[in-house]
């Protein structure tokens, strides 16, 4: 197994920290009988070939071996490995939800990127500075060439993971954690939708809570298929998945019972980190997909999100407030100098909710910079204290 691993000239490839010569040992480590070594290898690969949502030239070369490990009977890290593979494809899935991954656009944008990448200095070249890696080369590119090159790198890695689609379908028959991650991973390959939809249609059980069925339903919606699960299912999470899929498919034509289910979820459904989509933030995903159903449900959606704000913090708060800001300020950032009295009713209600919810601004008890930046994007004061003062200018 992994016989071809040493045939790749890893030292001439780069990842997040420079030359990729450490990748073979990390891949082999995934097959170690020592659980600590397996976890360490997985952690290291999550830091170098996939780093905070970014991938590199070495990533596409590593993927076939990761797929090989995934098929091995002794592989004890299948859910985590599927998470790495899906992360290579999506980066952060919030970038693509609720609409899905625009693969065709990426393929078109990658045209010409192979030549730009081929011209880049690489480890072993006289002009390669390991301390600077390829930063000088990248910074010297035009915006267009830089975009072509990075998109080409992504397309190569995407197609490498895509080769595993038949395997991901087979894994739908595994234990629930593997089923769930296999269904999630299939969601990002619309070019292979017909066969994947047939496989996903059979996933209705998996666990009593409905996590696997919900994940399969959402995947089906993103692939253009109608879910097998119905809104009569007794499991709230399974109904959530069915409603997400149906709203994704039908948009403004979604029936009232779908909208009602989503509004209920947006207002009260707790997070479940076993659902891979949006890190298990079920309420935020429901709020996000509601905008696909059109303006006729905007008031009820907004009310549900406002009700949710005092109860959330961290990434959950980010997603909920992101949707609420979009509904309150559809034109985007407020003009400079806009005072509280100049806000319309929806804007004032949102500002009041944020001003009255100090915990919403925090992550793990500390100020959440990304959340503050999100609020600032809309021209509002970017801390709880300054926003509270803003509401007093009546």
Pairing of strands 362-363, 366-367: antiparallel
Mean pLDDT for 165-188 is 97
Higher pLDDT, 358 or 268: 358
Bridge partners of 363, per DSSP, are: 366
Cβ-proximal residues to 155 (8 Å cutoff; 6+ apart), any chain: 106, 107, 110, 113
- CB-hemisphere CA count at 13 Å for 150? 16
Give the bridge partners for 147, in sequence order: none
Q: What is the pLDDT of residues 113-147, one digit of tens each?
A: 999 999 888 887 766 666 655 667 888 899 999 99
Could you read off the pLDDT of 68-109 as tens digits, one per residue? Answer: 999 988 788 999 999 999 999 999 999 999 999 999 999 999
32-36-40-42 Cα dihedral, nearest 10 degrees: 60
As given in the structure block, the two tokens for residue 119 are 């011209």
pLDDT for position 65: 96
Coil/strand/helix, residue 55 = strand
Quick one: pLDDT at residue 129? 65
Q: How far apart are CA 41 and CA 17, in angstroms?
A: 15
Torsion angles phi and psi, residue 51, rounded to 5: -130, 105
Torsion angle of the four alpha carbons 164, 168, 169, 171, in this order, in degrees rounded to the nearest 10: 140
Joined together, the tokens standing for residue 325 give: 């800001």
Listed in sequence order, the residues at least 6 apart from 130 whose beta carbon sits closer than 8 Å to its beta carbon are 18, 19, 123
How far is it, in rounded angstroms, from Cα 222 to Cα 102? 11
- pLDDT tens track for 11-44: 999 898 888 999 999 999 999 999 999 999 999 9
Residues 6+ apart with CB under 8 A from 220: 197, 200, 201, 226, 227, 228, 245
297-348 pLDDT, tens digit per residue, is 888 889 988 988 998 888 888 888 988 999 999 999 999 889 999 999 999 9
Both tokens assigned to 113: 């990127």
Domain boundaries, the chain: 3-163, 294-394
Centre a 10 Å sphere on the Cβ of residue 229 and count the other Cβ atoms it contains: 26
Residue 268 corresponds to which tokens in the numbers above? Answer: 């009260």
Q: What is the pTM of this model?
A: 0.87
Cα 327 to Cα 308: distance, rounded to the nearest angstrom = 15
Lowest mean pLDDT among 14-28, 45-59, 131-145, 276-290: 131-145
Q: What pLDDT is stored for residue 140 in this prediction?
A: 87
Which of helix, strand or coil describes residue 345?
helix
Phi, psi for 133 (deg, rounded to 5): 50, -130
Q: How far apart are CA 30 and CA 77, in angstroms?
A: 8
Torsions phi, psi of 188, nearest 5?
Answer: -100, 15
CB under 8 Å to 213, separation ≥6 — which residues? 203, 204, 205, 206, 207, 228, 229, 233, 235, 238, 241
pLDDT on residue 134: 60
Per-residue pLDDT, averaged over 231-248, amounts to: 96
- Would the pLDDT of 176 be above 80? yes
Report how far residue 30's alpha carbon sits from residue 43's, in angstroms, rounded to the nearest whole number: 10
284: pLDDT strictly greater than 90? no
CA distance 70 to 134: 32
- Spatial contact of 227 and 239, defined as CB atoms under 8 Å apart: no
Buried b or exposed e, range 349-363, using 16+ CB within 10 angstroms: bbbbbbbebeebbbb
Nearest one of 243, 230, 345 to 293, comparing CA atoms: 243
């Amino acid at each position: 197994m992994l016989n071809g691993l040493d045939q790749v000239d890893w030292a001439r490839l780069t990842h997040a920290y420079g030359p990729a010569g450490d990748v073979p040992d990390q891949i082999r480590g995934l097959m170690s009988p020592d659980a600590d070594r397996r976890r360490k290898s997985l952690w290291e690969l999550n830091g170098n070939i996939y780093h905070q949502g970014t991938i590199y030239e070495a990533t596409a070369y590593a993927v076939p071996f990761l797929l090989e490990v995934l098929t091995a009977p002794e592989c004890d890290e299948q859910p985590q490995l599927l998470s790495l593979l899906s992360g290579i494809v999506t980066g952060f899935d919030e970038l693509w939800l609720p609409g899905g991954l625009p693969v065709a656009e990426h393929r078109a944008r990658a045209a010409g990127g192979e030549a730009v990448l081929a011209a880049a200095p690489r480890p072993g070249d006289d002009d390669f500075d390991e301390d600077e890696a390829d930063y000088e080369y990248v910074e010297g590119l035009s915006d267009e060439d830089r975009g072509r090159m990075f998109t080409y790198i992504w397309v190569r890695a995407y197609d490498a993971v895509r080769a595993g689609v038949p395997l991901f379908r087979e894994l739908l028959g595994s234990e629930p954690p593997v089923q769930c991650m296999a269904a999630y991973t299939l969601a990002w390959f619309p070019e292979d939708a017909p066969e994947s939809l047939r496989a996903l249609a059979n996933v209705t059980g998996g666990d009593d809570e409905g996590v696997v069925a919900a994940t399969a339903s959402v995947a089906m919606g993103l692939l253009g298929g109608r879910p097998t699960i119905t809104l009569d299912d007794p499991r709230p999470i399974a109904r959530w998945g069915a409603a997400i899929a149906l709203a994704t498919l039908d948009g403004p034509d979604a029936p009232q019972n779908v909208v009602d289910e989503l509004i209920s979820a947006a207002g009260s459904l707790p997070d479940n980190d076993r659902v891979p989509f949006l890190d298990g933030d079920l309420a935020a995903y429901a709020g996000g997909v509601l905008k696909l159903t059109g303006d006729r449900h905007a008031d009820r959606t907004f009310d549900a999100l406002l009700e949710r704000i005092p109860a959330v913090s961290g990434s959950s708060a980010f997603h909920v407030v992101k949707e609420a800001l979009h509904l309150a300020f559809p034109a985007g950032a407020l003009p400079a100098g806009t005072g509280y009295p100049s806000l319309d009713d929806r804007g004032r209600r949102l500002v009041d909710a944020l001003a009255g919810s100090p915990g919403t601004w925090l992550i793990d008890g500390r100020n959440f910079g990304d959340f503050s930046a999100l609020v600032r994007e809309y021209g509002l004061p970017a801390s709880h204290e300054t926003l509270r003062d803003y509401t007093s200018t009546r």
